[in-house]
Structure 1
Amino acid sequence: MTPHQLVLRLAAPDDADRRAAEDALAALGPAALPALMEHLGDAASPVSEAALLGVLRRMGPSAFPLVLNVLRSVAAGQTYWRALRVFTGLGAVALDGYNGALTHEDPVVRRAAVMAIGECGDDGLRFAERVVPLLGDPDAEVRRAALRSFAWWGDAVVPLLQAVRRGGPGAARAGALEALAEIGGEAVLSARDLAALERLVRIKLPDDVPTPISCCFLSWIAVSTGDQAGVIELLGLSSPRPVPFATGVDVADCDSHAGLDENPLDQYRRVFVTPELAGWTLVVGSWCDPSSAEREDEVLEVCAQLSAKYGRAQAYWHSYQGDGSAVLVAEQGTIVRRFAYIPGEDAQDLELGAPLAYEQQRRTAVGLPALAGGHVNIEEEGDEWVWELLELAPGLAAELSLDPRSVDASTPARGTGVLALTEYGRRLGAPTGALTL
């Protein structure tokens, strides 16, 4: 059986046939490599990347230069990603090859080598010092790959990165700072670095203007006041730090994804408190979600307290992905309305108060009868009302206060936005990660 025929058998439906083909190809050694490379460079090949990798790993370092050549020769698209995944998947047996490729003239190869070394985990750590210069690589994609590798290695590379911050190489110093922020945040930054970041913020703030507040999972509390300090105090927030508006929005978006990780409470560690916007102060972050199982009671209570002091307070949650909407409206210390629509979930227990005038107006607009008291059976309402409910949070906010997505440089603003820690942040620690300034 020819090498080409053996490679095709790697796609056989029978496990025993596939194992026999892999063993035969491994026994052939370098003689099998041309046929393997032919299939690696062909996105239409029936042989999967995993099947090819199973053989190539058994061949050791001899496969590396040929896989590298395929990676360099294929065009962008499906074939490129196939070759890239095989190249980076060769693993620890190819570490010496990856090390040599870090200085390759082609940025595609440098990026792939950095990715591969990072994915080797502890085995790749011995090459961390060799990866340092790529934190300052001329190619942005290579720099990002180097940053991700250092973030994967974590605490083990903190001393190395701190040394780079102190002594260079100069081109890598900015990347080392970002990597340190990703790994450990302020806890691993020197006083000098923290002071430099604060100076950068101060330089940017005089020209700062509001930007649209858009997140995949957007939660916010709107308070009818410009008393930012008073809102922070009443909510029990701490360590407020001025940031450019766009930075605060970016942080809120990033933090809203933290609950998808191992600890669902990570998303509640901090919030962005805006400057006064057309008479309103917005507190932005998952901590403000009125429909969150962990936060619903607390959000209801603080909105009542805020409205008792400032007249009006509202909490909202909205999913950009169409996962639902939730609203809570408080006036003069009283909860006027709370409602949530989350497809596939029963949110009936969240509903409080009578339907608002805005809800009735939207019913009329889509040709539906007015809402009566009690819970509505969404399944009987039709698609028009479902679409209305998915957009209930920003729609109601635009009617009663501000739709955060419509905030821009023309919105009247006074003051400076701040990032502040919640009780979760004080207890669990401030979130790590570099700020986009």
Structure 2
Amino acid sequence: MPDADAAASLTQDLFADLSATNRSTREGAEDALVALGVEAVDHVLPYVREGRPAGLGDAEGVLRRLGAVAKGRLREIRRRVPGRLRRKALVALAALGGGEGIEGADLRALERLVRIRLLEEGAVRLPAEAGRWLAFPADRFDDAVSALGLHDLRPATTVTGAAAATGFPDRVEVPNSADSRRSTAYRVFVTPELTSRRRTLPIRNWRLLWGNSFIDELSGFTLADRLSRECGEAHFYSADPYNQAECWYVSRAGRLVRSYGTYADPQFAGEPLHFEVAYRNNAATPREAAEYADGCPYASTAARNLSVQCDFVPDIRTQGHGWLANTHPEVPTFRFSGALPV
């Protein structure tokens, strides 16, 4: 067998061992691949996954450990090597270092692709399973950006934005040059303007903000209050099927108006809203009347009656495009790692 074929076969065996159930086997395989140095790049590159975050024990993990050696070879492949490995190399560079690892011509090509996709984007489908989001009036977009301290806003498709804010790394630690402390930059996605066709809503045009780490660590309740002080009204919604937990929170002028939380004590706060009273009074069965006796216990139902429900539904139309942004003035949005779908 030629040396090249033998090396490829050996690398394939080592890569297979990365998925072994035995931990020492996995670690030994990764160490052996890393020990090959730049030679390993070409062999593991075909196994790079597209459109999904990198996991442990995979091609991206090997390339990450190779560091600058891998990036140099990947850039060379982009410039000189024909065929399908060029696309994989671009995906790998994005996974290793976001846009910072990608050369200018490729960045410009990606920006053109985003513009084309935005022109083609129709009805959007939002990841309701991701579980938590904020809503604010669409015409107060600039106020929302200011209230949340968002920076480096870049047009993005909903597919890109939803993945960036819910499925890929959405935070980076930023060292402070003045001392040893570090701050955190969070990546978020603000949806296109979503307009409900339901004329009964006081506000029919909304934008939603996604960003799992941002909402979790700064508190969706606090962020909704901050947004509503600048935008008049804002909501926080959370649905966690795994823990059978629902939460919704309405804030106006910086104050709680109404909220529900499965594990809150008490579960409801504030006076019942008009739609809750209607659900209780118009219940079709005694069971439904009991279910809504104290108010609405479902985040998606509250969202449908107060702003817009997550995921695509026929009574919502979109206008404009979404935005990727982050919360640190010194961190460009493309610094976050991950080869995002477009």
Confirm or deny a common fold (TM above 0.5): yes
1:428/1:272 CA distance change after superposition, 3 Å: closer
Partner of 1:112: 16
Q: Contact between 1:269 and 1:431, CA under 8 Å: does it hold in 2?
A: no
Q: Which stretch shifts more, 278-287 or 427-436?
A: 427-436
Partner of 1:204: 117
Partner of 1:394: 300
Instruction: State the AA in 2 paired with 1:415.
Output: G
Q: Which stretch shifts more, 120-129 or 145-154?
A: 145-154
Unpaired runs of 5+ residues, structure 2, are 173-182, 196-204
Partner of 1:336: 257
1:404/1:202 CA distance change after superposition, 3 Å: same
Give the deviation of 1:303 after TM superposition: 3.1
Residue 298 of structure 2 is aligned to residue 298 of structure 1: no
Give the deviation of 1:359 after TM superposition: 4.4
Instruction: State the AA in 2 paired with 1:282.
Output: L
Q: Contact between 1:217 and 1:256, CA under 8 Å: does it hold in 2?
A: no
Residue 122 of structure 2 is aligned to residue 122 of structure 1: no
Instruction: State the AA in 1 paired with 2:311.
Output: R
Give the deviation of 1:189 after TM superposition: 1.9
Residue 93 of structure 2 is aligned to residue 180 of structure 1: yes
CA distance in 1, matches of 2:243, 2:188: 23
1:153 to 65, 69, 84: 65
Unpaired runs of 5+ residues, structure 1, are 1-95, 260-264, 373-384
Q: Contact between 1:135 and 1:147, CA under 8 Å: does it hold in 2?
A: yes
1:121/1:169 CA distance change after superposition, 3 Å: farther
Give the deviation of 1:285 after TM superposition: 1.9
Q: Deviations over 1:335-383 (max 9, x none)?
A: 20233224xxxx33896423434445556642428767xxxxxxxxxxx
Residue 11 of structure 2 is aligned to residue 99 of structure 1: no
Give the deviation of 1:118 after TM superposition: 7.9
CA distance in 1, matches of 2:97, 2:121: 28
Higher relative contact order (CA 8 A, sep 6+): 2
CA distance in 1, matches of 2:333, 2:113: 27
Query: If each structure's helix is expressed as a fraction of its own residues, which one has the higher value?
Result: 1
Give the deviation of 1:183 after TM superposition: 1.3
SS in 1 for 2:67: helix
How many percent identity over aligned positions?
27
Partner of 1:269: 186
Q: TM-score, normalised by structure 1?
A: 0.58
Residue 273 of structure 2 is aligned to residue 348 of structure 1: no
SS in 2 for 1:406: coil
Superposition pairs for residues 239-254 of structure 1, below 5 Å? Answer: 239-254=152-167
Residue 145 of structure 2 is aligned to residue 225 of structure 1: no
Instruction: State the AA in 2 paired with 1:198.
Output: E
Give the deviation of 1:197 after TM superposition: 1.1
CA distance in 1, matches of 2:130, 2:310: 13
Give the deviation of 1:230 after TM superposition: 3.9
Instruction: State the AA in 2 paired with 1:305.
Output: R
Instruction: State the AA in 2 paired with 1:295.
Output: S
Give the deviation of 1:228 after TM superposition: 3.3
CA distance in 2, matches of 1:303, 1:151: 41
Partner of 2:248: 327
Residue 190 of structure 2 is aligned to residue 284 of structure 1: no
1:206/1:182 CA distance change after superposition, 3 Å: same
CA distance in 2, matches of 1:113, 1:368: 56
Q: Contact between 2:135 and 2:234, CA under 8 Å: does it hold in 1?
A: yes
Give the deviation of 1:195 after TM superposition: 1.4
Q: Deviations over 1:182-212 (max 9, x none)?
A: 1111222222222121111112111112322
Superposition pairs for residues 54-69 of structure 1, below 5 Å? Answer: none
SS in 1 for 2:131: strand
Query: If each structure's strand is expressed as a fraction of its own residues, which one has the higher value?
Result: 2
Q: Contact between 1:115 and 1:149, CA under 8 Å: does it hold in 2?
A: no
Q: Contact between 1:225 and 1:276, CA under 8 Å: does it hold in 2?
A: yes
SS in 2 for 1:206: helix
Residue 126 of structure 2 is aligned to residue 213 of structure 1: yes
Residue 324 of structure 2 is aligned to residue 419 of structure 1: yes
Q: Deviations over 1:213-265 (max 9, x none)?
A: 11543222111224434432332111111111222122233048989xxxxx9
CA RMSD of aligned residues (A): 4.1
Larger Rg: 1
Q: Deviations over 1:122-157 (max 9, x none)?
A: 3312435245155358x99xxx99743545535252
CA distance in 2, matches of 1:113, 1:169: 29
Instruction: State the AA in 2 paired with 1:220.
Output: W
SS in 1 for 2:126: coil
Q: Contact between 2:189 and 2:325, CA under 8 Å: does it hold in 1?
A: yes
Q: Contact between 1:223 and 1:280, CA under 8 Å: does it hold in 2?
A: yes
Partner of 1:55: none
Q: TM-score, normalised by structure 2?
A: 0.72
